[in-house]
Amino acid sequence: MKLLSRLVLLLSFGLLAACGTDNNQQPLQIARGLLAGAVGGNATPQDPRVVLNREIIDRAATPVILVDTLQLSGSGTMISTGRAGRYSSWAGLDQAGVVLLDDGILTATRGYGDDLISSDVEEVVEALRIGEGAIAVRVMRFLDGEDDDYTRSMVCSFSDIGPEVITIFDRDISTTAVIEECRSGDKEIRNSYWIGSDGFIWRSIQYVSPSLGYFQIERLFR
C-alpha cells in the first residue's frame, strides 16, 4: 500500500498537468489565463514602437496599422486578414483584431474581452465628410455578462479643429483634425480623427467599449 501510494504520488506530480488524447484539456493555458487576470489580449508581443522604423515599414510595403489599446497599455501592429465590401478586418500576432469601415472607422473588435461586437456608423462616415457642424447617429452593440447583446445609440456632433501635420514613424502627413462628440443620457464619448486631404483617416482615437475605453489606430503604410 505504502509503495503504491508513493508511486501514485510520483505519477501525479510528475504529470501534474493532465494529459491524453483529448486535445481540449488545456490546464496550463487555463492556469496562465487565471494568473494573467482580466487585462490585456492573448499575449504581449514586443512594443512595435521600439522594434519598428520607417525603413522596415516601407520595405514591407504592405498595408499595416498600429493599434494602441491605451487603457490596457499594449500596442501592436496588425495586417489585413480579409475584406468584404467597405469593411476590412485586421489582426495582430496576439490574434486580437479590429474591423474598420472605409479603412478608418472602427466598427468591431475581437479578442480583447468586452469587445465591440458591431456598429452602425454610416452616418458618421457622412458626417466626417462634412466636418464642422455635422450631426450623426452612431449605434454600437456589445455583449453583457450572459452573452446577450445590448445596443447603445448616441447622437454625435462634429467639429473641425483645423489643419494639423502629424508624424507617423518619421513620415509627416498633412491632415485635418475632426472631433466627434457623442451623447446618450449621461454617457459621453469623444472620438478624434486626423484625416488626409483625400478623406483617408490616418490616425484616430476611437471609443471601443465600457471596459476597453479608447483605442488609437494609426495607418503606417497605405
Partner 1 sequence: MNKVPGMILACLMGLLGGNPLGSAALAQETPARTTLNSYGLPGLIDIPSAFRMPDGDLAGTVSTFAGQTRGTLSFQITPRLTGSFRYSGLRGFSPEPITPTSDFTYYDRSFDLHFSLLEEHGIWPAVAIGLRDFGGTGVYGSEYLVASRHFGPEDQVAVTLGLGWGRLGTRNGFSNPLGSIDNRFDTRPGFDGFGGTFNTGQWFRGEAAVFGGIEWQVNDRLAFQLEYSSDTYSAEQADGVFTEKSPVNLGLTYRFENGTVLGARYMHGAELGLSLTFALNPARPPVIGGRDPMARPVEVRDPAALPYATAWASDINAATTLRTTLSRALVGEGIAVESLSVNASTARISVVNERYDAEAQALGRIARAMSATLPPSVETFEIVFLAEGIPLSRTILNRSDLEELQYHPDGTFLSYGRATITDASGLSDAGMQTDTVVYPRLDWSLGPYIETSLFDPDDPLRYNVGVELGASYDIRPGLTLSGALRGAAFGTLDESTRASNSVLPRVRSDSNLYDREADVAIRHLTLEHFGRPAPGFYSRVTFGYLEEMYGGLSAELLWMPVNSQFGVGIEVNHVQQRDFDQRFGFQDYSVTTGHASAYFSLADDYDIQIDVGRYLAGDWGATLSVDRTFDNGWRIGAFATLTDVSSEEFGEGSFDKGIRLTVPLSWFTGQSTRTEQAFTIRPVLRDGGARLSVRNRLRDVVRDYHAPSLDDQWGRFWR
For residue 174 the three cell numbers come to 498633412
Region binding partner 1 by CB under 8 A among candidate stretches 50-58, 170-178, 199-207, 208-216: 208-216
Question: For residues 159 and 211, which CB has a smaller minimum distance to partner 1 in the complex?
Answer: 211
* Contact status: 108 vs partner 1 (CB under 8 A): yes
Amino acid identity at 44: T
Min dist. Cβ of residue 19 to partner 1 (A):
6
SS (H, E, C) 153-221: EEEEEEEEEEEEEEEECCEEEEEEEEEEEEEECCEEEEEEEEECCCCCEEEEEEEEECCCEEEEEEEEE
* Contact status: 5 vs partner 1 (CB under 8 A): yes
Residue 119 half-sphere exposure, CB side, CA atoms within 13 Å? 25
Neighbours of 54 (CB within 10 A): 13
* Contact status: 8 vs partner 1 (CB under 8 A): yes
**Scanning residues 15 to 34, which ones bind partner 1 (CB under 8 A)?**
15-27, 29-30, 33-34
Min dist. Cβ of residue 17 to partner 1 (A):
7
Q: Are 197 and 217 in contact (CB under 8 A)?
A: no
The three-point CA angle 171-177-181 to 5° equals 140
Question: For residues 33 and 133, which CB has a smaller minimum distance to partner 1 in the complex?
Answer: 33
Binding partner 1 (rule: CB under 8 A), the pick from 77, 112, 208, 221 is 112
Min dist. Cβ of residue 64 to partner 1 (A):
16
Question: For residues 26 and 62, which CB has a smaller minimum distance to partner 1 in the complex?
Answer: 26
Neighbour-count burial of 141, counting CB atoms closer than 10 A to its CB (0-12 exposed, 13-18 middle, 19+ buried): middle
Min dist. Cβ of residue 107 to partner 1 (A):
6
Residue 156 half-sphere exposure, CB side, CA atoms within 13 Å? 32
| Count of residues touching partner 1 (by CB under 8 A) | 67
**Scanning residues 118 to 157, which ones bind partner 1 (CB under 8 A)?**
118-120, 139, 141-149
Sole residue written with cell 475584406: 83
Residues near partner 1, by CB under 8 A: 1, 4-5, 8-9, 11-12, 15-27, 29-30, 33-34, 37-39, 41-42, 81-82, 84-85, 87, 89, 91, 94-97, 99, 101, 107-108, 110-115, 117-120, 139, 141-149, 209-211
